[in-house]
A and B are shown apart, each in its own frame.
Chain A
Amino acid sequence: MKGREKNLKKIFISAAIGLCLIGATVMSTGFAAEQKPFYFLGLHCLSGNFAGPGEDGNRGCFIALEERNYKVLGRPIEYLVRDTELKPEATTRKAREAIEKFGVKFMMAGLGSHIGLASLDVARDKKILLLNHSSGSSEITGERCSRFGFRWTNDNSSIAKSALTPFLKERPEIKTVYCLVQDYAWGQDMNKNSRPILEKMGLKILGTDFIAVGTTDYSSYLLKAKAAKPDFLYCMIYGGDQIIAAKQVYEFELRKDVKAILFPWSGTTMIKEIGSEACEGVYFGLQWWYTYDNDYSKKFTKKFLEKHKVYPDNEAIGAHYCLKILLDTVERLKTDDVKTIILELEKEKAVDGPTGKEYFRSWDHQNIKQFFIYRGKNLKDYKFKEDYMELATGGSLYRTREENPCRFKDWDN
């Protein structure tokens, strides 16, 4: 009897230890799964000439994360920030490192068409979802489109259609144009997309000058443009070069010689640097402006201003919108499976966005939104210190399926 009791005791203790071990293993696995972070990679330009708007994009992401207390699906969100340095090779290297080290499934990039294309190649290769909040090249949702890439901003072809078409229709007195083109990917693409519009609207192109990126003096180009006596000066110049060009347009008093001057893509940071005097009377194409009158814009602008004491750039609101849409979708579907999220985003459900109702088109993943032309106000018309711009016109015109060479090959691209 004693021996039998001893055996029973041994069996009981062994079973108890075994159950404890199993229980501990199950609990720890469950605990780990529950706490595994949701990684999100933000590729922003945080150094060099575009650091200002790049930092704005980063700040937009932080606001979106704060709104959710850095949580989705009950998991903490780990936001990985990497500086693109405005170099495709740095972007690609840093993106791949983060993806391989942390198992990132979702990332954001923008600011620079070459950055947009480089990050899209990584997304395609690694089969992860990319949200591009600010690159303009038509190829991103065109020839080099990918089922894994989505883009918020209007692309160059849309800017040309949405901006130039209504702008010129409202100004029938414009018959001739002189073009200044920044000689890199964005400028060349913008020129390629604009020329058919200019010709279709019956304008005579008096001249086109391709100007190297980093040019510090536009005086000779402006003198040449002035000599041609165009009705319209169309400056396809972006970034720091736009600031210099706009200041020198003011210096050489071209506003008196031509009927209209347009920089088809600008931003808050650039306009502030150009200054109120040089902006006055000049037209700027904008993805969004902080005085735009809708709920989303007003709420976001208020939050950004309270936190950072400056008005936000379109980079900020674009990044905010993209990340918000992603996290809302993940939460709603209760999954972080990339393909499931993509299929959901392809359903073209319009939601309230920075420029009104917006949605991603299913067949090229281009976001459908408004694009605006704003005009620099006269200083005496300012209602507050940074009231630089007034809305002139806008539109939402995009390439049709027939015009766009984008064709998704299921999940292969």
Chain B
Amino acid sequence: MAYLEQFPTFILNGIALGMIYFLIAIGLTIIFGMMGVINFAHGALYAIGAYIAYTITSLVGNFWISLVVAPIVLFGIGVGEYFLLRRLQGVDPVYQLLLTFGLALIIQEVVIVIWGTVGKPLSIPPIFRGMIDFGLFTYPKYRIFLIFFTGILAFFIWLAIMKTKLGAMIRAGTEDSEMVSCVGINISRLFILVFGIGASTAGIAGVMAAPIVGVEPFMGMSILIISFVVVVVGGLGSYAGAILGGLLIGIIQSIFILLLPAAAAVTVFAFMAIILIVKPQGLLGKI
């Protein structure tokens, strides 16, 4: 019963977890929604973001610069990945899956060649070390910052998608890319932009997560699974679904560790299975 007093902390912790999952999943869902591509290399892009954070912090002693550099670098890599995928347009989607999976493995091995097999230490930036006292409980400053940062980023992405002309084109492309092309919009450039943005958000997620989970070559594979769960629960191609899916998965994971720890590891997958049975397109996905 003493644990129930900790409920607010666990909810807050679930939200923090959920925001990390959202940040990773948003790129995945945007790319799928626009292009119908399930990007298995997404986890590897997240890992590159983490390594950029480590490298820049080691070289110049400033973590925050990596929040600028990582999205730019990952945008470039995302665009490169798009040009590879473009060559497989019109063929069986399995080939695209294989390509992205192959890319994931190549990126992982390149990371090992450059940085080695041993992981790298990366500390939380000094300004966000320590705990905040909320009276009833204390909670790490960095995770509070992470919630706000991701929330603000989510708002600006939503603003861009819902309130700009470019966003309207992206939304239209998600519905019917052929029609968008027919009305004279350069769909190829739109795809490039979407892929680049999707990859950038993965990179930002990697930068933000690195001080908490560490930096090691196999971190991409381990986060990919949970990203897919979030996207499937929220609905493939749905921006709001990615937010809802991330938060739900994070909170469920956190609460079950408190209430039923033996089942915590499988709970999220069980939840995903229930969603797939009840609403196969996801909570906010469209058929």
Residues of A within 8 A of B (CB): 47-49, 51-52, 55, 183, 209-210, 212, 214-217, 219-221, 223-224, 227-228, 240, 243-244, 247-248, 251-253, 269, 272-278
| Per-position 1/0 for B118-148, Cβ under 8 A of A | 1111111000001100000010101100000
Bound CA–CA A109/B142 (angstroms): 42
- Neighbour of A244 across the interface among B131, B213, B258, CB < 8 A: B213
B257 and A243 within 8 A (CB): no
B118 and A209 within 8 A (CB): no
Q: How far apart are A180's CB and chain B's nearest CB, in angstroms?
A: 10
The 4 A-B residue pairs whose C-beta atoms are closest, nearest first, are A275-B121, A220-B257, A51-B117, A52-B118
A275 and B123 within 8 A (CB): yes
B13 and A273 within 8 A (CB): no
Chain A residue nearest to B140 in the complex (CB): A251
Chain A residue nearest to B256 in the complex (CB): A220
Q: How far apart are A43's CB and chain B's nearest CB, in angstroms?
A: 17
A220 and B258 within 8 A (CB): yes
A-B contacts, 16 listed (Cβ < 8 Å): A47-B117, A55-B117, A209-B261, A212-B265, A217-B253, A220-B253, A224-B261, A227-B2, A243-B119, A243-B216, A244-B213, A247-B212, A247-B214, A253-B140, A275-B123, A278-B121
User: Contacts of A51 on B, CB cut-off 8 Å?
Assistant: 117-118
In chain B, residues 161-187, which have Cβ atoms closer than 8 Å to a Cβ of chain A? none
Bound CA–CA A250/B200 (angstroms): 29
B222 and A223 within 8 A (CB): no
Chain A residue nearest to B17 in the complex (CB): A217
Q: How far apart are A214's CB and chain B's nearest CB, in angstroms?
A: 6
Q: How far apart are A318's CB and chain B's nearest CB, in angstroms?
A: 18
Bound CA–CA A251/B65 (angstroms): 22
Cross-chain pair count, CB within 8 angstroms: 101
Other than the given A52-B117, A209-B261, A223-B10, 13 more pairs (CB < 8 A) read A48-B218, A52-B116, A52-B119, A55-B117, A210-B261, A215-B265, A216-B219, A219-B13, A223-B258, A240-B214, A240-B218, A251-B212, A252-B131
Q: How far apart are A188's CB and chain B's nearest CB, in angstroms?
A: 13
Bound CA–CA A3/B10 (angstroms): 113
Q: Which among A51, A227, A228, A276 has the greatest number of chain B C-beta atoms within 10 A?
A: A227
A274 and B121 within 8 A (CB): yes
Q: How far apart are B270's CB and chain A's nearest CB, in angstroms?
A: 14
A253 and B131 within 8 A (CB): yes
A220-B253, A220-B257, A227-B2 given; A251·B124 CB < 8 A: yes
A244 and B117 within 8 A (CB): no
A49 and B216 within 8 A (CB): yes
User: Contacts of B143 on A, CB cut-off 8 Å?
Assistant: 219, 251
- Neighbour of B258 across the interface among A215, A224, A276, CB < 8 A: A224
Q: How far apart are A342's CB and chain B's nearest CB, in angstroms?
A: 34
A273 and B222 within 8 A (CB): no
Judged by a CB distance under 8 angstroms, whether B254 is at the interface is yes
A248 and B212 within 8 A (CB): yes
Chain A residue nearest to B119 in the complex (CB): A273
Q: How far apart are B165's CB and chain A's nearest CB, in angstroms?
A: 39
Q: How far apart are B224's CB and chain A's nearest CB, in angstroms?
A: 11
Bound CA–CA A58/B5 (angstroms): 50
Q: How far apart are A245's CB and chain B's nearest CB, in angstroms?
A: 10
User: Contacts of A209 on B, CB cut-off 8 Å?
Assistant: 257, 261
Q: How far apart are A240's CB and chain B's nearest CB, in angstroms?
A: 6
Q: How far apart are A230's CB and chain B's nearest CB, in angstroms?
A: 13
User: Contacts of B213 on A, CB cut-off 8 Å?
Assistant: 216-217, 244, 247
A223 and B9 within 8 A (CB): yes
Judged by a CB distance under 8 angstroms, whether B99 is at the interface is no
- Neighbour of B13 across the interface among A47, A49, A55, A223, CB < 8 A: A223
Bound CA–CA A277/B130 (angstroms): 12
Judged by a CB distance under 8 angstroms, whether B262 is at the interface is yes
Bound CA–CA A227/B258 (angstroms): 10
A219-B13, A223-B6, A244-B214 given; A214·B253 CB < 8 A: no
User: Contacts of B253 on A, CB cut-off 8 Å?
Assistant: 217, 220
In chain B, residues 239-274, which have Cβ atoms closer than 8 Å to a Cβ of chain A? 253-254, 257-258, 261-262, 264-265
User: Contacts of A210 on B, CB cut-off 8 Å?
Assistant: 261-262
A209-B261, A248-B212 given; A49·B123 CB < 8 A: no
Bound CA–CA A401/B254 (angstroms): 45
A269 and B118 within 8 A (CB): yes
User: Contacts of B14 on A, CB cut-off 8 Å?
Assistant: 220
Bound CA–CA A300/B257 (angstroms): 45
Chain B residue nearest to A243 in the complex (CB): B214
B121 and A273 within 8 A (CB): yes
User: Contacts of B218 on A, CB cut-off 8 Å?
Assistant: 48-49, 240
User: Contacts of B2 on A, CB cut-off 8 Å?
Assistant: 227-228
- Neighbour of B140 across the interface among A48, A55, A216, A252, CB < 8 A: A252
User: Contacts of A243 on B, CB cut-off 8 Å?
Assistant: 119, 214, 216
User: Contacts of B223 on A, CB cut-off 8 Å?
Assistant: 216
In chain B, residues 17-45, which have Cβ atoms closer than 8 Å to a Cβ of chain A? 17
Bound CA–CA A143/B119 (angstroms): 35
Q: How far apart are B214's CB and chain A's nearest CB, in angstroms?
A: 5
Bound CA–CA A154/B52 (angstroms): 39
B17 and A219 within 8 A (CB): yes
Chain A residue nearest to B209 in the complex (CB): A216
Bound CA–CA A98/B17 (angstroms): 47
Bound CA–CA A49/B138 (angstroms): 33
User: Contacts of A276 on B, CB cut-off 8 Å?
Assistant: 121
Bound CA–CA A190/B85 (angstroms): 48
Judged by a CB distance under 8 angstroms, whether B16 is at the interface is yes
Q: How far apart are B261's CB and chain A's nearest CB, in angstroms?
A: 5
